[in-house]
Amino acid sequence: MRYRVCHIEDIPRGEKRSYTIKNLPIVVVHSKQGEFHAIYGRCPHQHAALGDGALVGETRASQPGEAFHYEREGELLRCPWHGFSFDVTNGTCVAAPERLRVKTYALTVDNQELFLEV
């Protein structure tokens, strides 16, 4: 099934919005790169509303002793209660990818309108 979510201009680049589609909590992220991602809106740990969390990136170093650099800005959604971060592109938890995951959903753009595919 396909459900209209919003007009694409309703979510500026680098931001997120929470929606309820057919009783399903969804967070839609508009990445800084211009892509849209939809992720289930509840943390699998204790069901906090992920839409209340921050969009963040991650700090990495290529090897020990090297300077850190910030990457993937706006691609991780951090749970507001306990800080678990979820990759909005595939739903995996950064800290425990083998144990914690949230469902992601396909989105399509048609005539400047964003649609959720469920």
pLDDT score for 67: 80
- Look at the block and give the residue holding tokens 């500026």: 12
Which pLDDT score, from 0 to 100, does residue 91 have?
A: 97
pLDDT for position 70: 62
What local confidence, expressed as pLDDT, does residue 103 receive? 97
Contacts of 111 (CB under 8 A, 6+ apart): none
Residue 111 Rama label (left phi>0; alpha psi -120 to 50; beta): left
* CATH numbers and ranges of domains, the chain: 2-58+68-117 (2.102.10.10)
In this prediction, residue 69 carries a pLDDT of 72
**Strand-by-strand arrangement of the 54-60 sheet:** 54-60, 69-78, 85-87
* Mean pLDDT (10-residue bins), the chain, 118 residues: 96 96 96 94 96 89 77 88 95 92 96 94
